[in-house]
Structure 1
Amino acid sequence: MDERTGRTAGMTGPGTHAGRTGSPTEAFVAHRNLLFTVAYEMLGSAADAEDVLQETWLRWADVDHDAVRDPRAFLVRITTRQALTRLRTLRRRKESYIGPWLPEPLLTAPDVAEDIELADSVSMAMLLVMETLAPTERAVFVLREVFDLGYDEIAQAVEKTPAAVRQIAHRARAHVAARRPREVVSPAETRGVLAAFQQAVETGDLQRLLDMIAPDVVLLTDGGGVVRAALEPVVGAGTVVDVLSRLVSATLQPAQVNGHPALILRRDGRIDTVLAVRLENGLVAGLYAVRNPEKLSRIDRETAIGR
């Protein structure tokens, strides 16, 4: 496929035009939330996803729009290829990252939780599972399982044959299924646990914290070498509660982060940490604390995502 002309099998034909969605600018704007979400789910970084969108726009602006039959599919294709290129660079960067790496948290609108599949796909736990996929596997998984694209469309996006994409999708699906959280937890249950968790932290009730945390709980803290954070996963209820006991001086605020209930911690009015949780059997089994200031720049405003 030639990204300058947009000509590829199944994408061109007499009388076709990107104008079906309006002007090229209108087409891009109409699909922007989708494109951002594709890039974010592939990269786990809003800042990098925005860079990918900028590259997508530059390439889209240079396309022969008279030759494009389906602007949405074409834009997804450009975004996927740009994200794949950046993902390979990010993987090298993460190898030298100081301490645990966590996805950049996003403050999301309440209605994101209503789309259960979308909310699940952008959750901290799922994004970490997707980190274990190879770049092409991750792209195929996101496009197929989250956005329900056809194998032919995905094949054009990742430059593989449809048969190869089917095999990659099967392998990625099995890989994710073996590692993803097995229990579906309602937002209401998560909010209830977080409310009790918040009260226990604010009152310094360590026994109550112990009662709501799984014995083998794992706490991941991402400071990026910029702020204080554990350089290894913190494992075990007693050790984790000891860490949490230091949060008494912080102000905790409930929020909707990555489609799920979470807590934003502030110190002296400034955002210090975003804390997300994973529940199993009604107990907190995983805690994800993002403290790297570079990853908290967007958390004070909603980020629009969509399919």
Structure 2
Amino acid sequence: MLGSVAEAEDIVQDAWLRWQNTNRADVHEPAAFLATVTARLAINVAQSARVRRESYVGPWIPEPVDTSADPQLGAERAEALDLAVLFLLQKLNPVERAAYVLREAFDYPYKQIAEMLETSEANTRQLVSRARKHLSSERAAPVSSTAHRRLLEVFLAAAQTGDLSALEGVLTEGVVSYTDGDGVRGAARIPVVGREHVTKFVAAFAPRFWPETEVRWVEANGRPAVLVSAGGNASALLSVDASARGIERLLWVMNPAKLDPYVTSLQQ
């Protein structure tokens, strides 16, 4: 819903406090009560977050989540947790997002979702349908994790050497590169669009970015990703969205506020 671990934790805490202060005799289904409270709190936070992000410097990418410690979580919520899906979900309004997540990630019945969102069942179906259409129009069917990693391996090798031909071979014609840095690390402040532009962009910064860096393969949001470090400090997490055509999106997380918690979670 939010793409922010801290905001999600705050909501869970708030929902728990409300549960503690509720007369249990008035609650017939505790699980439904907690889900409803959590969903409504998430919608409120998402609405206010939209305003705050207007002042964010550059593209805003959801926070990466280490799913390697809980493979079952990654398997059960695979698509809903996918970083590319979370990124695209941010383009939906908060109510559409809530309806989609409750249905697709948690398989709630439409009737129950309607009650949570205080709307009709028919409208809930429309909300989910619009969200699905948005995602399907914006995103081609993803490849398997094995193919995903292979494409990322080829891109990584080509990016490190500035191999234009190899880069062009792995990127789709309409590829877009997004860098989330919030202006703190000289990250690109606007998306780079198209195979030719992305290829030249990646090749141009190769001599400055890759030397003396260490690369570690990790899992982020259920997919293989690359953690780049320099001098013992993480500098970027690279994730891609890939289809049978090749890499559709490059997602570079460079904002320390998002990168550092992810690195910490890897060490736990």
Q: Quick check: 2:143–2:242 contact (8 Å CA) kept in 1?
A: yes
Letter in 1 for 2:158: A
From 222, 242, 248, the equivalent of 2:203 is 242
Per-residue deviation, residues 222-274 of structure 1 (Å, max 9, x unmatched): 11122211111112343233255143222111110011111111111111111
**2:103–2:109 contact (8 Å) kept in structure 1:** yes
Matches within 5 A, 1:1-307: 42-109=1-68, 111-112=71-72, 115=75, 118-179=77-138, 181-203=139-161, 205-235=163-193, 236-243=197-204, 245=206, 246-249=208-211, 250-302=213-265
Q: Is the partner of 1:210 in helix, strand or coil?
A: helix
- Which stretch shifts more, 80-89 or 244-253? 244-253
What percentage of aligned pairs have identical amino acids?
Answer: 37
Pairwise CA distance, 1:203? 4.9
5+ residue gaps, structure 1: 1-41
Paired letter, 1:160: T
Q: CA shift at 1:275, angstroms?
A: 0.7
Indicate the structure with greater helix content.
2
Q: Secondary structure at the match of 2:176?
A: strand
User: Do 1:125 and 1:278's aligned partners in 2 also have CA atoms closer than 8 Å?
Assistant: yes
Q: In terms of mean alpha carbon deviation, does 152-161 or 243-252 score higher?
A: 243-252
Q: CA deviation at 1:52?
A: 1.0
Hey, what's the Cα distance between the residues in 1 that align with 2:106 and 2:73?
Answer: 16
Native 8 Å contact 2:67 2:220 kept in 1: yes
How far apart in 1 are the matches of 2:261 and 2:37? 25
Change (3 A) 1:243 1:277: farther
Structure-2 separation of matches of 1:147 and 1:243: 43
Q: In structure 2, the residue corresponding to 1:43 is in which secondary structure?
A: coil
2-structure distance, mates of 1:66, 1:273: 50
AA partner of residue 230 (structure 1):
A
Name the SS of the counterpart of 2:189 in structure 1. Answer: coil
Residues 121-152 of structure 1: CA distance to partner in whole angstroms, max 9, x if unpaired?
Answer: 12121112211111111111111122111122
Q: Is the contact made by 1:112 and 1:119 (CA closer than 8 Å) also made in structure 2?
A: no
Q: Is the 8 A contact 2:65 2:262 kept in 1?
A: yes
Bigger Rg, which one: 1
Counterpart-to-counterpart distance in 2, 1:266 and 1:112: 28
My pick for the range that moved more, 137-146 or 209-218, is 209-218
Report deviation, 1:281.
2.7
CA distance 1:46–1:88, change in 2 (3 Å): same
Task: Give me the CA root mean square deviation.
Answer: 2.2
After superposition, what is the alpha-carbon deviation per residue over 1:59-85, rounded to whole angstroms, capped at 9, x for unaligned?
A: 111122233333222211111011111
TM-score normalized by structure 1?
A: 0.78
Q: 1:111 to 1:243 in 2, by over 3 A?
A: farther
Give 1:28's aligned residue: none
How far apart, CA to CA, are the structure 2 residues paired with 1:167 and 1:206? Answer: 44
1:49 shift after superposition: 0.8
**Could you say what secondary structure the match of 2:63 adopts?**
coil
